Amino acid sequence: MIFFYVVVSVIVLSILVTIHEFGHFIVAKLSGTKVNEFAVGFGPKIFSKKYGETEYSFRLMLFGGFCALAGEDETSNDKRAVTNQPWYTRLGIFAAGPLMNILLTFILLVIVFYIVGSPVPIVGSVLSGYPAEKAGIIPGDKIVMVNNTKINDWDTLQNIINSNSGIKLKFTIERDNVILTKSIVPTYDKNASKPMIGIVPQYKRSLLLAFSTGTKQAIFFSKMIILSLYMLITGKVSANDLMGPVGIVQAIGTEAKSGILNLMAFTALISVNLGLLNLLPFPALDGGRILFVLIEKIRGKPVDPEKEGFVHYIGFILLIALILFATYRDLIRINIFK
């Protein structure tokens, strides 16, 4: 079982990191910036081949990868070194990695929702004993309006129900081309921890719906991550709750066991997490490099590349320390020390 978890996690994380580094790579190449090496993995080289000026390598430890740009952390006389590129070019190169992860999140979610379908405001089934059944709602009913709000999608309907626990709502229903009205009071369900009327939606498959639902889910994931970061920074959640590499491997393995679509959705969550975290203005992260580019633009002259490189090195050490701490917390959570 552990072997399965590790293999699946290596595949997933390798894809995410390779996509991220490819973002840096492709923008660097398109802008004429010199790329010394593009590597999948860290550590000793298993395979490498040089095409033109760039070496492409496959390395032993697959939990990572890198795109080595000429002059990235040092002064260089090469006109094509990244440090000698215009500020907007460097901004584009550094931002491309995180943006590729965010794009991958969207693509994965669109694929998932195209396969499973997207919920629409048409009743698929009615739960026994709930308000909808008592009001006479039946499968096939299309909910077109609640009070004075037009219902175009399932999310709008859910939001109205969630916001009106215990309040009578007027539902306008279309049934066999006949318009009906029903009065329904959402009741709080302890098991679901939210107000419900007891209906399950129909699911429809279309590329347009998949794009719409995938976009909404990607935005939801992003908001959830930003809120979690805010709560961590403000102390509303403990650093002990951070998930490290061991926790991620365990979570990926669990999702993989429950099916490929669950794994794809979870991979989308990790991908947007990777993208947004890398945009944080912290040394060693892409956001830190973007910050230095913006500082240069504001002050009118560049920061010494070697000094900037030292700052990023310190940031890298701090990130490693954070990863080790999170790993330790993972091991405690799974009771490895008992």
pLDDT digit string, tens, across residues 236-245: 777 666 676 6
Measured from the Cβ of residue 1, the count of other Cβ atoms closer than 10 Å reads 7
Write the class of the CATH domain 119-203: mainly beta
Global confidence as pTM: 0.86
Angle of helix 260-278 versus helix 87-116 axis, rounded to 10 = 160
Looking at residue 336, its pLDDT comes to: 47
Active site residue 37: no
- Percent of the chain with pLDDT strictly greater than 70: 93
Q: What is the pLDDT of residues 45-70, one digit of tens each?
A: 999 999 989 999 999 887 788 999 99
Instruction: Delimit the domains of the chain by residue range.
Output: 2-116+214-333, 119-203
Confidence of residue 290 (pLDDT cuts 50, 70, 90): very high
Task: Give which of 162, 160, 163 is closest to 172, Cα–Cα.
Answer: 160
Whole-number Cα distances in Å, 277 to 87, 118, 337: 22, 29, 30
Catalytic residue among 21, 37, 72, 308: 21
